[in-house]
Structure 1
Amino acid sequence: MTERLVSHLRYAALAVPDFQTERDFFVDYWGLTEVHAEDGLSYLAAEGSSEPFILRLRRDDKRIDLVGFAVANRADLHALADKLHTEGVQFVHDPQELTGFSGGYGFRVFDGDGRVLEFSTGYQTREARKIREREPIPAKLSHVVFNSANLNQSAQWYIDHLDFSISDSLTRPDGADMMHFMRCNTTHHSVAIAMGPHHSLHHLSFEMRGIEEWMRGAGKILRSGARMIWGPGRHNAGDNTFAYFLSPAGNTIEYTTELSVLDEETWEPHRLNIKEVSNQDQWGTAQEMSELIARESFNDIDKGLFVAPPV
């Protein structure tokens, strides 16, 4: 089994111009809990997660601010920082005490495409609770997916520098690479990278307790007036359910459940061609993937590449 210094995905941080509308949507409809707020900042937690927050929203021009990952302890964190320095990765800042909400100790870098990644340890956690039967709220942040104009180069950065592994890949009808699903632990993927016309956020995915809660959540969001752009269905890669919506800011967000947990000793990656419709949706309940659907998640060009957020 691969020994990795990154333990798991913690949170995503996004900047949006209509901050209050986006914040209200995630609290009033999507099912997150605001645990801390400052002027133009909102920290949102999932009731089923011990992470202090899983989504941070900030008032500004639309961009990905950063994606946060956890490291087990300070020794591992310094080992990772030393490794990345040796490999020539560009740092935002070296390991230091983190002064923002939930504290901790960590550092930030730019990935190969210019997104900011944070690695931290020793931060304050919160008491998670078991999501009740039929309760249509997220249990945790499942994964984050990026669009990249340099798909294979971008994926290789995570392999070379963070020891991520490719679990599965989607290919186009002509066999060319289309999407890589990447893991930092036994969960099938916590990061995925899709081929896109530019670098941007593809989607954020939130894990529900189970199928019943996932369906009830999707229905609740439909009744809120949000548009479902794809789903409901069940992916082949990861074997997880999907229902994709657009947030008020135009970011694609997903309710999912039952994402695969792998035996890394025996798992072999698959190359799944989307011309086989069951590789898109095993159930056949979602409309077949098309250029129009794919374009919904291209999103706006990320204005935050190689520009660190102010917080």
Structure 2
Amino acid sequence: MNQPIARLRRLRSVELRTHARSASTDFYSEVWGLRVVDQGDDAAWLRGTGDQHHVLQLTAAERNGLGRISFAISTPAEIDEAARRLDARGIPMIQGPGAVDDAGGGYGLRLVDPEGRIVELIADTLAVPDLGRGDAVPVGVTHVVLNTVDIDAAVSFYCDVLGMRVSDWSEHQMAFLRCNSDHHSIAFNQAQWASVNHIAYEMPTVDHFMRGIGRLRHHGILPLWGPGKHGPGDNTFSYFADPAGLVCEYTSGIAQVDEDRWLCRVWRRVPELSDLWGTAGPPSKQVRDHMAGIPDPGAFELHDLERVS
């Protein structure tokens, strides 16, 4: 039986391809609460209050899509071992293992999942000073929800290859996967096409969460859905759309998993469990349309790779 290729420590950052790179950079830095740490003609890197060099990269593109998902690995030696295990499995790498020529530095590799998403494993990235948690701004990225045409295949790949564990299901519509004690770092949503559903940013407390929503209201930006509190994950939620129409979420209070005691559950998809507080109501068609996004061929379009089996 094949072992997972590595031990994922945490979700480090997300790269989004966006047709509104300049406006989105302004939104995430001036309204959402992130800070620009580096910027070029076609890309911008933004940080939260934690010690990660950046948690979001915005890259100019003709159409919206996922650039890559980046997971932190402990050491370069583990990156090299991951590369050997990928080669043994016949899973293509599109970069590395080796030094990463990116704003955050590091030593890593990039592989492609069955639906063309680029997944980066990286160690030894640049650190920045922790800014503390006084302001109502995000610490960093806490989870990514991805639309998939085959939820079982997606879950199998991320568990068998990347070593993630299923925390809960929302019937057979959504699966919540963890790589550490957080209830989920990745979730998959069964859909008509592969795309980004939304990116969630951690607020330290419910007070920070609500004050962040208040700041957006002062800028004339209202939630697409929320505030509320989910059943699976037990986290607060409030969803917004950025200038490109991509969905971003403020969240706080994600459930913590005790590996020795946790039991995976299947949650019913009913309004009272999708919002335990009963404050948000069911998601509207507008929310669902934003979360559906547009079909994203990912690496298959960018790199002309064969489909991963």
Length-normalised TM-score, structure 1: 0.92
Q: How does 1:1-311 map to 2 (within 5 A)?
A: 5-47=7-49, 49-61=50-62, 62-132=64-134, 135-171=135-171, 177-275=172-270, 277-289=271-283, 293-308=287-302
Q: CA deviation at 1:108?
A: 0.4
The aligned amino acid for 1:73 is: T
> Per the alignment, in what secondary structure is the counterpart of residue 6 of structure 1?
coil
Within 1, Cα distance between the matches of 2:140 and 2:210?
Answer: 16
Query: Is residue 177–residue 183 contact of structure 2 (8 Å, CA) maintained in 1?
Result: yes
Q: CA deviation at 1:36?
A: 0.7
**What value does the CA root-mean-square deviation take over the aligned residues?**
1.7
Q: CA deviation at 1:210?
A: 0.6
Structure 1 residue runs without a partner (length 5+)? 172-176
The aligned amino acid for 2:295 is: I
Deviations 1:88-132 (A, max 9, x none): 212112301112112111110111111001111111111112111
Within 1, Cα distance between the matches of 2:12 and 2:145?
Answer: 14
The aligned amino acid for 1:136 is: A
Deviations 1:197-238 (A, max 9, x none): 110000000000111110111122133233412111001111
The aligned amino acid for 2:167 is: S
Query: Is residue 5–residue 77 contact of structure 1 (8 Å, CA) maintained in 2?
Result: no
> Per the alignment, in what secondary structure is the counterpart of residue 77 of structure 1?
helix
Query: Is residue 5–residue 86 contact of structure 2 (8 Å, CA) maintained in 1?
Result: no
Query: Is residue 180–residue 193 contact of structure 1 (8 Å, CA) maintained in 2?
Result: yes
Deviations 1:60-84 (A, max 9, x none): 1222111111110022112222222
> Per the alignment, in what secondary structure is the counterpart of residue 228 of structure 1?
coil
Within 1, Cα distance between the matches of 2:274 and 2:190?
Answer: 16
Figure out how many residues of one structure are paired with residues of the other and give that number. 299
The aligned amino acid for 1:240 is: N
> Per the alignment, in what secondary structure is the counterpart of residue 12 of structure 1?
strand
> Per the alignment, in what secondary structure is the counterpart of residue 249 of structure 2?
strand
The aligned amino acid for 2:147 is: N
The aligned amino acid for 2:122 is: S
> Per the alignment, in what secondary structure is the counterpart of residue 173 of structure 2?
strand
Structure 2 residue runs without a partner (length 5+)? 304-309
Q: CA deviation at 1:149?
A: 1.1
Query: Is residue 194–residue 297 contact of structure 2 (8 Å, CA) maintained in 1?
Result: no
The aligned amino acid for 2:68 is: L
The aligned amino acid for 2:233 is: G
Query: Is residue 112–residue 118 contact of structure 2 (8 Å, CA) maintained in 1?
Result: yes
Within 2, Cα distance between the matches of 1:91 and 1:136?
Answer: 39
Within 2, Cα distance between the matches of 1:115 and 1:223?
Answer: 36
> Per the alignment, in what secondary structure is the counterpart of residue 23 of structure 1?
helix
Within 2, Cα distance between the matches of 1:88 and 1:256?
Answer: 37
Q: CA deviation at 1:293?
A: 3.6
Q: CA deviation at 1:241?
A: 0.1
Q: CA deviation at 1:4?
A: 5.5
Within 1, Cα distance between the matches of 2:84 and 2:51?
Answer: 28
Q: CA deviation at 1:159?
A: 0.7
CA 1:225/1:303 → structure 2, altered by over 3 Å: closer, same or farther?
Answer: farther
Q: CA deviation at 1:260?
A: 1.1
Query: Is residue 45–residue 56 contact of structure 2 (8 Å, CA) maintained in 1?
Result: yes
Within 1, Cα distance between the matches of 2:15 and 2:30?
Answer: 19
> Per the alignment, in what secondary structure is the counterpart of residue 147 of structure 1?
strand
Deviations 1:132-178 (A, max 9, x none): 1xx2211111111100111111111101101100001102xxxxx10
Within 2, Cα distance between the matches of 1:10 and 1:284?
Answer: 32
> Per the alignment, in what secondary structure is the counterpart of residue 243 of structure 2?
coil
